[in-house]
Amino acid sequence: MKKQDVIKVIQILKNYYPDATCSLDFETPFQMVVAVMLSAQCTDERVNKTTPQLFEKYGTPEAISKMKLSELEKIIHPCGFYKNKAKNIKETAEIILNEFGGKVPENMEDLMKLPGVGRKSANVVMLEAFNNPQGIAVDTHAKRISNKLGLSKNTDPEKIEMDLLKVIPKEYYYDANHLLVWHGRKTCIARKPKCEQCPVYDYCKNRE
């Protein structure tokens, strides 16, 4: 797809989903990091039901670093993979305290040094916590829609992102991040896409 067509698709989706924003609840960059880690293979809705109990008492790196691992596991249990996630969250809190002066780093390289934070998660944190998008977070929705629209033939998320960055100008990163997710959740649904309702159906290379 040509760059001008990609921009047109983004504009169409922006008009179709004027309220497209991040669906994870958070108040601080650290809370964003924790929410993103919990969202791995878990719905944002479930994360948002779990984090209020956690953040009420343990919303800072200091508080989480002092928690018993068993207590953290108990609170985040509903989000799945709770043992691994609890371990990563606690280690991340300690690294932020010891290596970054208690503040979440504001660059991709340092974010990706945190346990449980890969490129996709780092992209989300840069976008949502710091309003400074560095790329496109390729989740299952972004992957599917990128393939359907012919934006990428790759299946690896990082390769898909590199393909997207070739055709999406930086000023559209913010919108593209949200719109790909919203379109995937609300219209281009994996099991049963609503092609008859799709505002960018004419651009789709893999129509149902």
pLDDT at 79 over 70: yes
Q: Which domain holds residue 102?
A: 29-128
Average pLDDT value over all residues in the chain:
96
Shared domain for 34 and 60, answered yes or no, is: yes
pLDDT at 208: 61
Shared domain for 170 and 120, answered yes or no, is: no
Residues 45-78 have pLDDT tens digits of: 999 999 999 999 999 999 999 999 999 999 999 9
Would you say residue 107 lies in a domain?
Answer: yes
Of 85, 90, 120, 143, which residue is the catalytic one? Answer: 120
Would you say residue 95 lies in a domain?
Answer: yes
pLDDT band at 1; cut points 50, 70, 90? confident
Q: Domain tally for the chain? A: 2
SS (H, E, C) the chain: CCHHHHHHHHHHHHHHCCCCCCCCCCCCHHHHHHHHHHCCCCCHHHHHHHHHHHHHHHCCHHHHHHCCHHHHHHHHHHHCCHHHHHHHHHHHHHHHHHHCCCCCCCCHHHHCCCCCCCHHHHHHHHHHCCCCCCCCCCCHHHHHHHHHCCCCCCCCHHHHHHHHHHHCCHHHHHHHHHHHHHHHHHCCCCCCCCHHHCCCHHHCCCCC
Of 96, 128, 160, which residue sits at a domain end?
128
Shared domain for 154 and 100, answered yes or no, is: no
Of 5, 66, 110, 139, which residue is the catalytic one? Answer: 139
Of 82, 108, 128, which residue sits at a domain end?
128
Would you say residue 86 lies in a domain?
Answer: yes
Question: Any catalytic annotation for residue 25?
Answer: no
Shared domain for 87 and 154, answered yes or no, is: no
Would you say residue 71 lies in a domain?
Answer: yes
Q: How many residues does the chain have?
A: 208
Which has more confidence, 35 or 207? 35
Look at the alpha carbons of 41, 44, 47, 51 in this order and tell me if their dihedral is positive or negative: positive
pLDDT at 206 over 80: no
Shared domain for 44 and 122, answered yes or no, is: yes
Would you say residue 208 lies in a domain?
Answer: no
Would you say residue 142 lies in a domain?
Answer: yes
Question: Any catalytic annotation for residue 5?
Answer: no
Shared domain for 147 and 165, answered yes or no, is: yes
CATH number of the domain residue 17 falls in: 1.10.1670.10
CA–CA separation, 22 vs 197, rounded Å?
A: 23
Shared domain for 117 and 41, answered yes or no, is: yes
CA 174 and chain centroid, separation: 12
pLDDT at 2 over 70: yes
pLDDT at 176: 97
Would you say residue 89 lies in a domain?
Answer: yes
Residues 99-116 have pLDDT tens digits of: 999 999 999 999 999 999
